[in-house]
Amino acid sequence: MAGSGETRYELYYWPSIQGRGEFIRLALEDAGASYVDVARLPDSQGGGVKAIMRLIDGKQGGLLPFAPPILKVGEQLLSQTANILQFLGPRLGLAPANDEGRAAVNQIQLTIADFIGEAHDSHHPIASSLYYEDQKPEAARRARIFLAERLPKFLAYFEKLLARNGGGGYLVGDALTYADLSMFQVQAGLAYAFPVAWARESLRHPLLVALRERVAARPRLAAYLASERRIPFNQHGLFRHYPELDAV
């Protein structure tokens, strides 16, 4: 895929959605890293969902992952999105040089993980294994509370982080980190899932919006976002657009 470099990364993630895998893809793409999105290869080339299942079933050795995204680097297997990003950050030039800065970025990434979990639960409040259609009343109730309470609370927190970081335009320090890339992705997902609520909330969070625009304009990311490698948002991922849940 993109770029060159000595280390060859293998990403294993569901091939038809952005989901949590997208946070890893964005870091690899922005850095121009050499990686293969393995499950998007045809089965005949060792790809497909089967490639993920082989890792989850423990057929390939390494530390057993519970769920994708999974990153394979040599013989090492990593899972948990924030953990993968913590590993990749310094290697891809997307993390601060010192321990304090790295811990700060990890802390923000874990808060993003909480946030996207709640965004997901707004359409699947009872169980991921059930169809949305089987939990619609609960989803309506959960989404109302998500939009009224949780969305503004999380966004206000991230906006404050940007304001307190001296106006440099990054969440931590004076250079872009993987948390900034993830913050772009969260906003893109929210704008897709909740266009009405997002139109209101984005007006209240100008620093976040500016960060989103700045990240989207980074040359490698702009090329990625315009490419076929960027899977369009759809009704199977973390962020889903059900107009009836986007009530103000």
Q: Which stretch binds ligand GSH (CB under 6 A): 63-71, 88-96, 163-171, 194-202?
A: 63-71
Instruction: Write out the binding residues for ligand GSH, residues 176-205 only, by CB under 6 A.
Output: none
By CB under 6 A, name the one of 9, 18, 22, 80 that touches ligand GSH.
80
What sign has the CA pseudo-torsion 111, 112, 118, 120? negative
37: which residues sit within 8 A by CB, 6+ positions away? 1, 11, 13, 15, 25, 229
Within residues 109-128, the interface with ligand GSH by CB under 6 A covers 113
Reduced to 3 states (helix: H, G, I; strand: E, B; else coil), residue 162 is helix
Phi, psi dihedrals of residue 242, rounded to the nearest 5°: -115, 105
Candidate residues 67, 97, 103, 145; the one interacting with ligand GSH per rule CB under 6 A: 67
Using CB under 6 A, pick the residue from 11, 19, 32, 51 that binds ligand GSH.
19
User: Least separation, in Å, of the C-beta of 84 and ligand GSH?
Assistant: 8
Looking at the Cβ atoms of 56 and 156, the one nearer to ligand GSH is: 56
Smallest gap from Cβ 9 to ligand GSH, in A, equals 16
Closest among 235, 238, 218 to 226, alpha carbons compared? 218
Total residues interacting with ligand GSH, rule: CB under 6 A: 8
- Radius of gyration for the chain, computed over Cα atoms and rounded to the nearest angstrom: 18
Give me the phi and psi of 149, to 5 degrees please: -115, -55
* Footprint of ligand GSH (CB under 6 A): 19-20, 67-69, 80-81, 113
